[in-house]
A and B are shown apart, each in its own frame.
Chain A
Amino acid sequence: MNDYINLHDVNLFYGTNQALKDVKLQAAKHEITAFIGPSGCGKSTLLRCLNRMNDLIPNVKITGEISVAGESLYGANTDVESLRKNIGMVFQAPNPFMMSIYDNIAFGPRRFGVKSKAILDEIVEKSLRAAVLWDEVKDQLKKSGLSLSGGQQQRLCIARALSVEPDVLLMDEATASLDPISTMKIEELVQQLKKDYTIVMVTHNMQQAARVSDKTCFFLNGEVIESAPTKTLFNNPEDKRTEDYITGRFG
């Protein structure tokens, strides 16, 4: 299953501006794949292709082939809603809804028709435990999600993404707005989640990619320059540009 997520010749245009060029990429199941590269290199854009969040932006044109578990994401019969349910996403800034911690987690399952209080209770506890937040919030589930600290809010968002039982979790610089201790907690959490989910993360922070991921892809100007197991990429980069970037010569 080394090509659980498979991208073939993906090109993306914002109007006439090409943001991704002939991207070829594979990501394995139950692994963490990290996208690194300087700002504006297209790594977030590519991540957003994986759950079709780019559909929300007008004038975006995508060509090429993207599939997850053998199913094409941009097929004629693709159900975008169930696709997004299957491929969860965590954003750069924590964005819990303006509702209680409980309702934040129960939101997704409720939209997909879960009504029973007992089942919802179970999902809320399971998701919060999976995001290692349960022990901190179990006595205050009725409190607003916004009353938590930034790191807790981000873990709440992870729990919310897990509540609809996705297979893949996309993380778009999920620790960029957090302090080092919260970042460390999220990194530990991501390592645990790998057992049950396939994770693709975008990060600004090369050390983070080195610490956490199994595979790293280096992006530059919309192209994948190099994509290799993390250790190989950081210790023996093949391309000169990769070496320049990871040794801090630019970016």
Chain B
Amino acid sequence: MQQTNSTASKMSGRHWRLMFSDQVFKWFCLFSAIVLCVVLFSIVFFMGKTGVLTFEFVKVTEYFFSLNWNPGFDETATYGAGIFFIGTILLTLLTLIISVPISVGIAVFLAEIAPTRLKETVRPILDLLVGIPSVIYGFLGLTILVPFVAKVFGTQLGDGLLAAALVLSLMVLPTIGRISDDSIEAVPQKYREAAYAMGCTKLQTIFFVVLPAARRGIVSAIILGMTRALGETMAVVMVIGNVPQLAESLVQPTSVLTSNIVMQIMAVPFESTWNYALFFMGFSLLVVALLLIVFVRIINNRSEVQ
């Protein structure tokens, strides 16, 4: 009898200990999740709050559409950030034009054509390329690509949109390539069989069956590559020339949102219109990146429903 009692009390002690550690762990996880949400919200809020102060001194239309970026601390200062917005859009588009065909080509090759041993060699290489620090890409761009571009175009300097787009393409290539590769690989074999059994060639099967079936994954891959290209700073600063002017050719030194922020932010006092204007550029990048990621989530959810 006594023994039964002591077993029971041992049991209940163990029970309470387990209950307690369960609860502690649960609250810890919840707390971590909440911290993350708070951090995200604070970043958006802080960037936005500081950024919008710009418009107490600068007209919204001037900020977005004027090409006159002439910041300073007297009456003549103008804050036309249009050049940077246009620059970022051009740079991103150019990067995608160069990198998308190549990286989707790599993905198709890896998933559909390459023999197994080659696949197993190239895939880890692409995964490693994703992890290389961007400053390394910048170095290579600066020392190899920029002089090369200058030589090809016969200009004094090779800095500009083209050099930046080439460096960025190299950087986003593994990202787009690997994610597309995975989504092509995930297309069920039964679709390929159906196409082959009807007499389709390999090329027809890839273009008319496999790629359409993988298109959502490929679009997500492109968008993720795009967010990387949009936000990349270091590598771009090293090859774009950093002159706040609108690029009239692909090899003219210019600036984009990220490169301009990093070049100027160290030199301006916190409580100045100039500083606010730079913050709003950052805020714009942040909003665009968040929207793109939300868009990817929506695409992926929809494909799950199907």
Q: A interface vs B, CB < 8 Å?
A: 51, 53, 56, 81-86, 88-89, 91, 93, 95-99, 107-108, 111-112, 146, 157, 160-161, 163-164
Task: Give the residue among A51, A98, A164 with the most B Cβ atoms within 10 A.
Answer: A98
Least Cβ–Cβ distance between A107 and chain B, in angstroms: 7
Given known pairs A98-B212, A99-B212, the reply for A56 and B199 (CB within 8 Å) is: no
State which residues 57-116 of B face A: CB under 8 Å.
none
Q: B interface vs A, CB < 8 Å?
A: 188, 190-201, 204, 208-209, 212-213, 306
Contact status B199-A97, CB under 8 Å? no
Q: Which 7 A-B pairs give the minimum distances between C-beta atoms?
A: A85-B199, A95-B190, A89-B197, A84-B199, A108-B198, A81-B199, A95-B194
Least Cβ–Cβ distance between B210 and chain A, in angstroms: 11
Contact status A160-B194, CB under 8 Å? yes
Given contacts A56-B196, A160-B194, 7 further A-B contacts (CB under 8 A): A56-B192, A86-B199, A97-B213, A98-B212, A107-B208, A112-B199, A146-B306
Q: Which chain A residues border B306 with CB–CB below 8 Å?
A: 98, 146
Contact status A164-B193, CB under 8 Å? no
- Interchain CA distance A164-B198 in the complex, whole Å: 7
- Interchain CA distance A95-B194 in the complex, whole Å: 7
Contact status A160-B198, CB under 8 Å? yes
Chain B interface helix/strand/loop/mixed: helix
- Interchain CA distance A54-B189 in the complex, whole Å: 14
Q: Which chain B residues border A98 with CB–CB below 8 Å?
A: 191, 212-213, 306
Residue of B nearest to A94 (CB): B190
Contact of A88 among B190, B197, B204 (CB under 8 A): B197
- Interchain CA distance A93-B193 in the complex, whole Å: 11
Q: Which chain B residues border A160 with CB–CB below 8 Å?
A: 194, 198
- Interchain CA distance A244-B277 in the complex, whole Å: 87
Q: Which chain A residues border B199 with CB–CB below 8 Å?
A: 81-86, 108, 111-112, 164
Given known pairs A107-B208, A111-B208, the reply for A95 and B193 (CB within 8 Å) is: yes
Contact of B193 among A81, A86, A91 (CB under 8 A): A91
Q: Which chain A residues border B213 with CB–CB below 8 Å?
A: 97-98
Contact status A84-B198, CB under 8 Å? yes
Least Cβ–Cβ distance between B204 and chain A, in angstroms: 5
Least Cβ–Cβ distance between A53 and chain B, in angstroms: 6
Contact of A85 among B192, B198, B208 (CB under 8 A): B198
Least Cβ–Cβ distance between A168 and chain B, in angstroms: 12
Least Cβ–Cβ distance between B18 and chain A, in angstroms: 45
Contact status B194-A84, CB under 8 Å? no
Contact status B190-A93, CB under 8 Å? yes
Given known pairs A97-B209, A107-B208, A111-B198, the reply for A56 and B190 (CB within 8 Å) is: no
- Interchain CA distance A84-B193 in the complex, whole Å: 11
Given known pairs A97-B191, A98-B213, A99-B212, the reply for A161 and B197 (CB within 8 Å) is: yes
Given known pairs A97-B209, A98-B212, A146-B306, the reply for A111 and B191 (CB within 8 Å) is: no
Residue of A nearest to B200 (CB): A111
Q: Which chain A residues border B204 with CB–CB below 8 Å?
A: 111
A-B contact pairs, 15 of them (CB 8 A): A56-B192, A81-B200, A84-B197, A91-B190, A91-B197, A97-B195, A98-B191, A98-B213, A98-B306, A107-B195, A111-B198, A111-B199, A111-B204, A157-B194, A163-B198
Q: Which chain B residues border A88 with CB–CB below 8 Å?
A: 197-198
Contact of A95 among B191, B200, B212 (CB under 8 A): B191
Q: Which chain A residues border B192 with CB–CB below 8 Å?
A: 56
- Interchain CA distance A212-B20 in the complex, whole Å: 66
Contact of B197 among A53, A99, A112, A146 (CB under 8 A): A53
- Interchain CA distance A91-B209 in the complex, whole Å: 17
Least Cβ–Cβ distance between B193 and chain A, in angstroms: 6
Task: Give the residue among B188, B195, B196 with the most A Cβ atoms within 10 A.
Answer: B196
Residue of B nearest to A144 (CB): B306
- Interchain CA distance A83-B194 in the complex, whole Å: 14
- Interchain CA distance A56-B190 in the complex, whole Å: 12
Residue of B nearest to A89 (CB): B197
